[in-house]
Amino acid sequence: MGHVRRDYGMVLAWAAGTLAVDQAAKWAVSRWLGPGESVGVAGRLIRLTHVTNPGAAFGLFQGRQELFVAATLLVFVLAVVMAGRVGPKSGLALAGLGLAAGGAAGNLVDRLRTGSVIDFIDLSVWPVFNLADTGIVVGVALLFWYLVRHHAPAVSAEGDSRSRS
C-alpha cells in the first residue's frame, strides 16, 4: 500500500511543479509583454509572443468554458485512477500523468481567472502555445510510450502474440 501513496505523491509533485512553472512563465510574459507584443529569444526560430486564446488548441471551441472544466476534471480523474494501476516501477508513466494533470490545471486556472489561456511560445510554424500545453503533450506521449511498451502484445518470430509482463 505504501507504493500507492508514493505513486500518488509522485503524480501530485509533477502536477504541482508543472502548474507552478506554467503560471510563473505566464505571469512573467504578461508582466513584460503587452498583448500582441513579441520578442525574439532564438533569432527567428523561437519568439515570445503574448496572445490569449479563449478556445482550445488552434482556437477551437471558443466560449465553451464548461467543456474545458469538464475535460480538466476528466484528466484529473484519469490521473488518479491510472496512478493506482501503473505500479511502482513506472516512474515515466507517473511523470506523464502528473505533467498532463498539471498542464490541464495550468490552462484551467487561466480560464477561470481571465476567461482565456495565455499563450507565448511562438515557433512561427505552429500556433502559439504555452508550458501547460507542453506538459499535456509530453505527459500524454510518456503515457502512450508506457502503454505501448508494457501492455501491447509482443509478436514472436513465428507470428503469435504473447503478452509482455
**Residue 160 bears catalytic tag:** no
Q: Which of 7, 22, 110, 133 is catalytic?
A: 133
Look at residues 25, 16, 28 and name the one whose alpha carbon lies nearest to residue 105: 16
CB-CB contact of 117 with 108 (8 Å): no
Residues whose CB falls within 8 Å of the CB of residue 81, separated by 6 or more in sequence, listed in order: none
CB 109 within 8 A of CB 19: yes
* Separation of alpha carbons 133 and 152, rounded Å: 27
Of 7, 22, 119, 122, which is the active-site residue? 119
**Beta-ladder partners of 52:** 118
- Helices (H) and strands (E) counted in the chain, each on its own, are 4, 5
- Within 10 Å of residue 21's Cβ, how many Cβ atoms? 16
Whether 7 is a known active-site residue: answer no
* Catalytic machinery residues: 119, 133
